[in-house]
Amino acid sequence: MKVAFLGTGLMGLPMAQRLLGADVQLIAYNRTPEKLAPLQAAGAEIAVHPRHAIRAADYVVLMLTNAPAIYSVLLSDTSWRSLAGRTVIQMGTITPTESKEIRDAVVAAGGEYIEAPVLGSIPEAQAGKLTVMVGAHREQYQRNLEILKYFGSEPVYVGQVGTASALKLALNQLIASLTASFALSLKFVQRQGVDVDIFMQILRESVLYAPTFDKKLPRMLDNNYDNPNFPTKHLLKDTDLFIDEAKNAGLNVNSIEGVRAILDTAMRMSLAQADYSSLFAALSSPNDAG
DSSP character at residue 56? H
In the predicted structure, residue 36 carries a pLDDT above the cut 50:
yes
DSSP character at residue 289? -
- The CA R_g of the chain, rounded to the nearest whole Å, is 20
Length reported for the chain:
290
Q: How far apart are CA 153 and CA 37, in angstroms?
A: 28
Q: How far apart are CA 192 and CA 187, in angstroms?
A: 9
148-178 pLDDT, tens digit per residue, is 999 999 999 999 999 999 999 999 999 999 9
**DSSP element (H, E) containing 77:** helix 77-80
Would you give the distance in Å from CA 273 to the centre of its chain? 15
| Mean pLDDT for the chain overall | 96
**DSSP element (H, E) containing 88:** strand 87-90
139 HSE (CA, 13 A, CB side)? 1
Sequence-distant (6+) residues with CB within 8 A of 227 are 275
265-288 pLDDT, tens digit per residue, is 999 999 999 999 999 999 986 555
- At residue 19, φ and ψ (nearest 5 deg) are -65, -45
Output the pLDDT for position 288: 55
DSSP letters spanning 149-181:
TTT-SSPEEEESTTHHHHHHHHHHHHHHHHHHH
In the predicted structure, residue 290 carries a pLDDT above the cut 70:
no
Output the pLDDT for position 285: 62
In the predicted structure, residue 136 carries a pLDDT above the cut 80:
yes
The burial class, CB within 10 Å (0-12 / 13-18 / 19+), for 32 is exposed
193 HSE (CA, 13 A, CB side)? 0
Q: Are 216 and 179 in contact (CB under 8 A)?
A: yes
Output the pLDDT for position 201: 98
